[in-house]
Amino acid sequence: MDNFHHLLYPQTGRTHQATSFGRDPERGNNWVGYRHLEARVKRILIAPGEMHTMASLSGAGMITRIWMTTLLPFNAHALRNLVLRFYWDGENYPSVECPFGDFFGAPFGAYRPYVSAPMSLTAGAFNCLWLMSYATGARLEIINEGPQSSTRFFITSHIRKCQKALRVPCDFMRSGGATTPPGAVFLTQF
């Protein structure tokens, strides 16, 4: 069967969307007056040291798609300086903590288009189709750990809200805290 076979069967829950639309219309750059308000309301600005909550979800559900983009090359620093943190079911520590570019397969701050079944970088878009289920709630955050503001940043997440927890054979979470393997070397400059 192809990837669309699930369309033949009724799905539980209702589909919702969390987006950057209308979250931050007055902040950031308007491209020297050329960007009208209707276009500016689609994006957010993330100042140095600022954390932005992309979605705060209650109840059971599953994230079925995450789409993000930023205007490269103006925000090339965003690939490494913006850090994604995803928390499931009231966790104190994130199950996902990763630089924005690395999470979507653009490591070392370099955008190289590719397409695979669960992830892709296409025409400036960063796509993730991994299923991420949660039983009582989820929180998706993005933090700017760099010295520059990240403007023109757009986010859309598709969520299926359900009456009870949807579980997939593998959960999208780490087990235990992050540890550094003995002898690991971290590259700080390229």
Mean pLDDT of the chain: 77
Query: Element (H or E) spanning 52, and its range?
Result: strand 51-58
Which pLDDT score is estimated for 190? 45
Residues 43-59 have a mean pLDDT of 86
3-state secondary structure 136-158: CEEEEEEEECCCCCEEEEEEEEE
pLDDT digits (tens, 9 = 90+) for 62-82: 888 898 888 777 777 888 889
pLDDT digits (tens, 9 = 90+) for 143-170: 999 888 876 677 788 878 887 776 666 6
Please tell me whether the peptide bond between 113 and the residue prior to it is cis, using omega within 30 degrees of 0. no
Residue 3 has pLDDT above 70, yes or no: no
Which pLDDT score is estimated for 176? 57
pLDDT band at 140 (very low <50, low <70, confident <90, very high): very high
The residue among 99 and 2 whose pLDDT is bigger is 99
pLDDT digits (tens, 9 = 90+) for 116-135: 988 999 988 899 988 888 88
Separation of alpha carbons 19 and 137, rounded Å: 17
Residues 3-29 have a mean pLDDT of 66
| Choice among 18-22, 54-58, 136-140 with the minimum mean pLDDT | 18-22
Radius of gyration of the chain, Cα coordinates, nearest whole angstrom: 18
The residue among 116 and 44 whose pLDDT is bigger is 116
54 by Cβ neighbours in 10 Å (0-12 / 13-18 / 19+) ranks as buried
Separation of alpha carbons 62 and 168, rounded Å: 9
Query: Which alpha helices (DSSP H) does the chain contain, by range?
Result: 37-40, 78-81, 100-103
Parallel, antiparallel, or unpaired for β 137-144 and 44-46? unpaired
Show the domains of the chain with their CATH numbers.
13-162 (2.60.120.1390)
Residue 35 has pLDDT above 60, yes or no: no
